[in-house]
Amino acid sequence: MLKRHARAACTALAAAGLLLAATGAAATAAPADSAGTGRPQKSASATLHTADAPPELLAAMRRDLGLTPTQAKARLAHEAEAGATAARLRDRLGAAFAGAWLDGGDAGTLTVATTRAADTASIRATGARAKLVGRSLADLDTAKAALDRAATAGTPVRYVDPRGNTLVVEETRPGAAAALLAATGTDAALVTVVRTAEAPRLLYDLRGGDAYYMNGSGRCSVGFPITKGTVNGFATAGHCGRAGTTTSGFNQVAQGSFQASVFPGNDMAWVAANANWTATSFVKGSGGANVQVTGSVLQPVGASVCRSGSTTGWHCGTIQQHNTSVTYPEGTISGVTRTTVCAEPGDSGGSYISGSQAQGVTSGGSGNCSSGGTTFFQPLNPILSSYGLTLKVTGTDPGPGPGDPQPGGTWKAGSVYAAGATVTYGGASYRCIQGHQAQTGWEPPVVPALWQRL
């Protein structure tokens, strides 16, 4: 008898899109067809289906963020619209861009930082707040990269804090950060040192959503179901297994094996399932209910993020920083996202989702779900891109019918596009403003939340 493919272990991030003209209300009306495609353009919130947030997600946001279902849906819509505005401004500001973040219980306030005073008027014209700062995001990222190469367990976490326009280094013992700065020649004026009593650890014993077991012993969690050609499988964390590691499902039935894995450096892997398992477009919600996945658009700093774990159930929090580096005792990883969502042993590899947008897979963290904690996830899009995987999604637009013209160009459904990538479609050129895996219904002319026409 065919079994359902194991679903998600953590839940995560959200949507992205255009900034609301009025931050107190969600703009869901689709813009008129300005691209001459015969199909209306979609607002960011419509593209990312924020109005269809499942009850399990809304219940978790009520418990952990204190939001009613109406408030939670409004917040998801605000996050979607603000994410696209932030992406457009980042593209427009170029080297002067210094970060963007959301504030307010409804995520209704977007702030965009720049090092160039002349940019502030154009930022405010979008409805966002402007902040003039002394250091660009690129400069701080460059300084962080130097620290990453020399970091030890004494300085386990490094990240850029756009709100403070500073590079944060967490240290577990006095003097560890100072020694790191001295060893790398980093200007101390760039850095804020934070003492921490907890060191991140890998979450081998955590499970989120449906569990799976490696070589009949250790346990991790399924991230997001995927396909690769005709093969069904799932994305998960690299520290859970190496290529060739066999897996069994939550029911201890033989499931498949790891096909590729990276850890340290990154924390990514994928498992190919056998014919008894079928990939679905769900993560496991409260009480075992299915939560649909419709895409993989990364959400900005300050946005809500939720996680589903088989040990701790559903929990929510917010995104703190992207492009964080973490040094575990087992090695250093970079490019992960830091969140306030709690986790406990068993959730490693599991899925993060916001609204209906897949975000990433659990790497590790500190704390617990009684006193609170911090977790880190490996973003999903680099996993899809690295291994040529296709995220299983539902609710996509069928696209042109069999008699409709098929526009030529380089854009292709299934490809993973990073911000800044360019494509052609229907004789026009477009630049990606928010990283995502392309799908039918998200063609560049109709999703201005994801693509900017050149």
The Cα–Cα gap between 158 and 25 comes to 36
The catalytically annotated residue of 78, 267, 315, 351 is 267
Sorted by sequence, the CB contacts under 8 Å of residue 353 that are 6+ apart come out as 8, 11, 12, 13, 14, 57, 283, 291, 293, 306, 308, 359
Which residue out of 5, 49, 239, 315 is catalytically annotated?
Answer: 239
Active site residue 33: no
Helix or strand (DSSP H, E) at 184: helix 176-184
Q: For 313, left (φ over 0), alpha (ψ -120 to 50), or beta?
A: left
Which of 203, 393, 374 has the alpha carbon at shortest distance from 297? 393
What amino acid occupies position 430? Y
Catalytic entry in 136, 261, 325, 348: 348
CA distances from 448 to 44, 83, 298 (A): 7, 12, 15
- State the CB neighbour count (10 A cutoff) for residue 453: 13
User: In the numeric block, which tokens belong to residue 123?
Assistant: 């930022």
Q: Report the distance separating Cα 373 and Cα 380, nearest Å.
A: 22
Q: Which residue has the tokens 């994801």?
A: 450
Is-catalytic flag, 371? no
| In 14-105, alpha helices (H) | 44-47, 55-65, 69-93
To the nearest 10°, the Cα dihedral for 413, 419, 422, 428? 80
Q: Which SS3 state, helix, strand or coil, does residue 407 take?
A: coil
For the record, the structure tokens of 65 come out as 């963020």
Q: Is 239 a catalytic residue?
A: yes
163 closest CA partner among 290, 280, 301: 301
Report in angstroms the alpha-carbon separations of 17 from 80, 81, 99, 174, 256: 4, 4, 16, 42, 37
State whether residue 138 is helix, strand or coil.
Answer: helix
Residue 95 CA to residue 179 CA, distance in Å, equals 30
Which positions are annotated as active-site residues?
A: 239, 267, 348
